[in-house]
A = this chain, B = another copy of it.
C-alpha cells in the first residue's frame, strides 16, 4: 500500500476519533448517536463506517490510545532512571497536558463507566493497569525508598492515585490537581 494512503487513513481515523471524543464528553456516550458522530466529523456516514462499525469500536479505540500513552510515559520515565514517585508524577502531568488539549480526564470517566458493560474495554483497562503496575514495581524493586512494602503492593497502591487525579481534573479542573504531582514525588523518595 502506498505510504501516502496509510498516512491518509491514519489522519482520517484520528479525525473521526477526535470528533467522537468531543461528542462523548459533551453529550455522553449513550446520548450520542452514530448520526451525531457523522455530523460532528463532517464526513459522509459511509466514510465513517469504513473506519468504525459502531460507537463501541470508537470508545475502545479512544481508551486504547489513552491507556497506551500513559503506559508509555511510565515506561519512558522508568527507562530514563526516574524513581517511583517521579514516574507516576510524569504520568499525571502528561494526563493534565492532554486534558487541556482534548478532555483526556473526562473521556476516562466515560470509559470507566462504559467498561462495566463492555468486556473489551474492561480487559483493556485491566491490561494497561497491569502493564503500568509492572513498570512501577520494577522501579520499586530497584530503589530503596524506606517504605516497608512489597514492590508490587507499593506499585499497585501508588497507581490508584491516577484515577483519583483524573476524576478531580475532570470535575474540579486543573487548579485542584496541580499540587498532586509534587505530592506524589514527596511521598516516594527513591533514596537512590
Q: Are A112 and B168 in contact (CB under 8 A)?
A: no
**Stretch of A41-49, A74-82, A145-153 contacting B (4+ beta carbons < 8 Å):** A145-153
A183's nearest neighbour on chain B, judged by CB, is B157
A187 contacts B by Cβ under 8 Å: yes
| Shortest Cβ distance from A167 into B: residue | B163
CA distance in complex: A168, B126 (Å): 8
Once A28-B117, A153-B179, A182-B153 are accepted as A-B contacts, the answer to whether A187 and B147 lie under 8 Å apart by CB is yes
Question: At the interface, yes or no: A72 with Cβ under 8 Å from chain B?
Answer: no
Taken together as a complex, chains A and B put the C-alpha atoms of A129 and B169 apart, in Å, by: 13
> A151: shortest Cβ distance to chain B, in Å?
11
In the complex, what residues of B have CB within 8 A of residue A61's CB? Answer: none
Whole-angstrom CA separation of A109 from B168 in the bound complex: 13
Option from B112, B116, B164 in Cβ contact (under 8 Å) with A162:
B164
B residues less than 8 Å from A182 (CB atoms): 153
Closest B residue to A166 using CB positions = B163
Contacts of A187 in B (CB 8 A): 147, 149, 154, 157, 187
